[in-house]
Structure 1
Amino acid sequence: MPLKKKTGLVVSDKMDKTIVVAVKRQSFHKKYRKTISITKKYKAHDERNKCKVGDIVKIQETRPLSKTKCWAVIDSEK
């Protein structure tokens, strides 16, 4: 089974070796026939603390590293 990968925006870097990444996607509402924007936040492991707020990053699914963290940063863009 391939590992999941997502791209998102860093919204918080206050924790040590952890960032919060907001991933946006668009979906179609079945009843109201409108396009809605859905944002989900993921906690990702940043080993070198190099990602800052506003960076675009790629994250990849990994083994659970803590209670809420099971993603790791694989690429960072400024």
Structure 2
Amino acid sequence: MKVQAMETSSKQLGNKRKLVGFVVSDKCEKTIVVTVETLIKHPHLKKYIKRKKKFMAHDPENQCSIGDKVQIIEHRPISARKKWHLNKVIEKAV
């Protein structure tokens, strides 16, 4: 019984969503705002359209600055709007 419970919990840890985007704001303490672009296919026109969405992510060490390319991962809610956590900095801004 306990082995099965541990296996299911480890599987759930691997199902967190990961998104890649660019930092557009780092004004808040330990928080960054990341813009993520996705491509969706229009149902009638059959062409791809860019969609942008902003996510607030937790940056505990304040290591990101505006323009950095980062990967964020789903996390438990930290505040009312902050439900993502900084996973890694892919590319620093010049």
Equivalents in 1 of 2:19, 2:77: separation in Å? 17
1:75 is matched with 88
Equivalents in 1 of 2:47, 2:73: separation in Å? 30
The structure that is helix-richer by fraction is 2
Aligned residues: 78
Equivalents in 2 of 1:71, 1:52: separation in Å? 17
Alignment of 1:31 onto 2:44: yes
1:61 is matched with 74
1:7 is matched with 20
What is the TM-score normalised by the length of structure 2?
A: 0.79
Where in structure 1 do 4 or more consecutive aligned residues deviate above 4 Å?
none
Q: Secondary structure at the match of 2:44?
A: coil
The structure that is strand-richer by fraction is 1
Shifted more, 29-38 versus 10-19: the winner is 29-38
Larger radius of gyration: 2
1:35 deviation in Å? 1.4
- Identity among equivalent pairs (%): 45
Equivalents in 2 of 1:70, 1:27: separation in Å? 23
Unmatched 5+ stretches in structure 1: none
Unmatched 5+ stretches in structure 2: 1-11
RMSD: 0.8
Determine which structure has greater relative contact order: mean sequence separation of CA pairs < 8 Å that are 6+ residues apart, divided by chain length: 1
